[in-house]
Structure 1
Amino acid sequence: MTTFPIYQIDAFADRMFAGNPAAVVPLDGWLPDIVMQNIAMENNLSETAFIVRCDPATDGAEFHIRWFTPTVEVPLCGHATLASSFVIFNILGFDGDLVRLQSESGILTARRDGDAIVLNFPKQPIVAEDIPATVTAALTDAKPSATFRVASRDTDFVAVYDHASVVRDMVPDMSVLGTLAERGVIVTAPGDKPGIDMVSRYFVPAFGIDEDPVTGYMHCVVAPYWAEYSGKANVVGYQASKRGGIIDCTVDGDRVHLKGNAVLYLKGEIYLAD
């Protein structure tokens, strides 16, 4: 019997039972992909992150990181990176305030900022594109003022609305959105409360997640849009899921800095038969 530690972290939250929960599994070396996928499926969280120490001299980073939803491996995930960074800084005894993580999306960094952690992620450009009418109808009766797709991943649709209440009150038909193979839908609107520049949600039933609670990757899509709209480099987003969460975003060229807190919920062990 082989055992591995596992931690569950509430990311982009300053209290338990808020933000987005992610599992983090530190490893000495990669397990077979099917085993990691099965662990993620068993966890049944939107993301499970696996991290492996590496040699900074040869890899340019201190850790490798990979992310799995319950059904697929994904190339980028913000909240599970924040959760992994929390584990690295607070549990694994990492010496330093900046850690580099090698990923499928290149080198990502996480930096301590008081009690918070700031992630340095790649901006996700969007291009104007019509969304199928069946999809917009499945979201809400209101019509979006603009529609896009995420160019860098050629997957997610983006629908922009004029009023945050439309986004907050949305009850999508997941049976329709679930037919979008390898596509999710991001919906966003200008903020409606002081200190909030944008309100957004992210639906990804095709990846085994009806609605992601708080999404770092998504804010690399919407933050540049609203930063350009407002003329400000720093914008604050609220993700209006049931759990909800706030992400402080700073757009810096082709990068987006995502600032948030994280809270340890549980720690345990995974038992695998040899």
Structure 2
Amino acid sequence: MTTQTLPIYQIDAFTDMLFAGNPAAVVPLSGWLADDVLQKIAMENNLSETAFFVPCDDKDDADFHIRWFTPTVEVPLCGHATLASAFVIFNHLGFKSDLLKLQSKSGILTARRDHDAIVLDFPKQPIKANEIPQDVLTALGGAKPVESYVVASRDTDIVAVYDNAKTVRDMAPDMSVLGRLTGRGVIVTAPGDKTGLDMISRFFVPAIGINEDPVTGYMHCVVAPYWSDKLGQEDVVGYQASARGGVVACKVAGDRVELKGEAVLYLKGEIVVPA
């Protein structure tokens, strides 16, 4: 079998220290590999997401075209792996501009340097009221939310709003059951319980190979607009209460959400894949 060697980076995103935030693999490419090879690389990496990007032909449109894969499926939007990719492009690939444009399945995304941080510009993810099935609530541990929604664009991501952060922090879902009951995932969120935190959230997605995503940019495009409306403020700070944990500073402006965070290099190496 003919093989080729590709660079790979592993980045801890939405954190300023190693072994925190959300780890993502980043694989820069000169041209697209077959989809099944991309999926197998993501499965082999066994992280919540692996990001791949190639240079765009039309630089007026975007600088790179980016795609994201969990261990089992391609996803249309991923925040932490985009932050990780921007970190690699800015710091390891000689990219000179402070503004990076990325073409994706969710349209044009931008990333800009802000001192040690990177600010992502992502599409807002509107929600609509929806009753959560009782068997899903049972798998979550039985706590009844004060409000419930689904993400309007896909109808497969449930959003459960609680009035107490402790309920969100202590939740221990039955992942084997939850993965069979949901089309994709469940977001649980509540008001923040510490100074400087406006909201606390978690994201369970066993249906696509990730029991709990450590820190999720996409999820904050769902919960930040909700809490922005509730609190009457454009700027909201979220804490994702996974085992690793991470803080995401958000700014809601119209149909866009800015997500600000730092990233740290953990690994730089090479992988060998089919040519």
For the aligned pair, the TM-score class normalised by the smaller chain equals over 0.9
Look up the SS of the partner of 1:165 in the other structure. Answer: helix
TM-score with structure 2 setting the length: 0.98
Match of 2:175 in 1: 174
Look up the SS of the partner of 1:80 in the other structure. Answer: helix
Match of 2:271 in 1: 270
Asked if the contact 2:11–2:24 (Cα under 8 Å) also holds between the matched residues in 1, the reply is: yes
Amino acid corresponding to residue 99 of structure 1 in structure 2: L
Match of 1:27 in 2: 29
Asked if the contact 2:135–2:181 (Cα under 8 Å) also holds between the matched residues in 1, the reply is: no
Structure 2 unaligned runs (5+)? Answer: none
Asked if the contact 2:136–2:182 (Cα under 8 Å) also holds between the matched residues in 1, the reply is: no
**CA–CA distance in structure 2, aligned partners of residues 217 and 113 of structure 1:** 20
Report deviation, 1:57: 4.0
Establish whether residue 153 from structure 1 lines up as the match of residue 154 from structure 2: yes
What pairs up with 1:54-133 in 2 under 5 angstroms?
54-57=56-59, 60-133=61-134
Report deviation, 1:136: 1.0
Deviations along 1:56-109, one digit per CA (max 9) or x if unpaired, are 446x00000000000000000000000000000000010110000000000000
Match of 2:238 in 1: 237
Look up the SS of the partner of 2:180 in the other structure. Answer: coil
**CA–CA distance in structure 2, aligned partners of residues 180 and 36 of structure 1:** 27
Look up the SS of the partner of 1:196 in the other structure. Answer: coil
Match of 1:4 in 2: 6
Distance change (3 Å), C-alpha of 1:57 and 1:5: closer
**CA–CA distance in structure 2, aligned partners of residues 185 and 95 of structure 1:** 39
Look up the SS of the partner of 1:179 in the other structure. Answer: helix
Amino acid corresponding to residue 75 of structure 2 in structure 1: V
TM-score with structure 1 setting the length: 0.98
**CA–CA distance in structure 1, aligned partners of residues 110 and 274 of structure 2:** 34
**CA–CA distance in structure 2, aligned partners of residues 258 and 86 of structure 1:** 14
What pairs up with 1:246-257 in 2 under 5 angstroms?
246-257=247-258
Report deviation, 1:272: 1.9
Match of 1:48 in 2: 50
Amino acid corresponding to residue 195 of structure 1 in structure 2: G
Q: How many residues align?
A: 273
Amino acid corresponding to residue 90 of structure 1 in structure 2: N
Look up the SS of the partner of 1:29 in the other structure. Answer: coil
**CA–CA distance in structure 2, aligned partners of residues 73 and 166 of structure 1:** 31
Establish whether residue 138 from structure 1 lines up as the match of residue 139 from structure 2: yes
**CA–CA distance in structure 2, aligned partners of residues 95 and 180 of structure 1:** 46
Amino acid corresponding to residue 44 of structure 2 in structure 1: E
Structure 1 unaligned runs (5+)? Answer: none
Report deviation, 1:181: 5.0
**CA–CA distance in structure 2, aligned partners of residues 110 and 61 of structure 1:** 11
Look up the SS of the partner of 2:181 in the other structure. Answer: coil
Which of 3, 12, 15 pairs up with 1:13?
15
Distance change (3 Å), C-alpha of 1:254 and 1:210: same
Match of 1:196 in 2: 197
Deviations along 1:224-244, one digit per CA (max 9) or x if unpaired, are 000000001000000000000
Asked if the contact 2:147–2:162 (Cα under 8 Å) also holds between the matched residues in 1, the reply is: yes
Report deviation, 1:177: 0.9
Q: How large is the Cα RMSD of the aligned pairs? A: 0.9
Amino acid corresponding to residue 38 of structure 1 in structure 2: K
Look up the SS of the partner of 2:100 in the other structure. Answer: strand
Report deviation, 1:175: 1.7
Amino acid corresponding to residue 232 of structure 2 in structure 1: G
**CA–CA distance in structure 1, aligned partners of residues 251 and 58 of structure 2:** 27
Sequence identity of aligned pairs in percent? 73
Deviations along 1:182-220, one digit per CA (max 9) or x if unpaired, are 320000000000000000000000000000000000000
Look up the SS of the partner of 2:26 in the other structure. Answer: strand
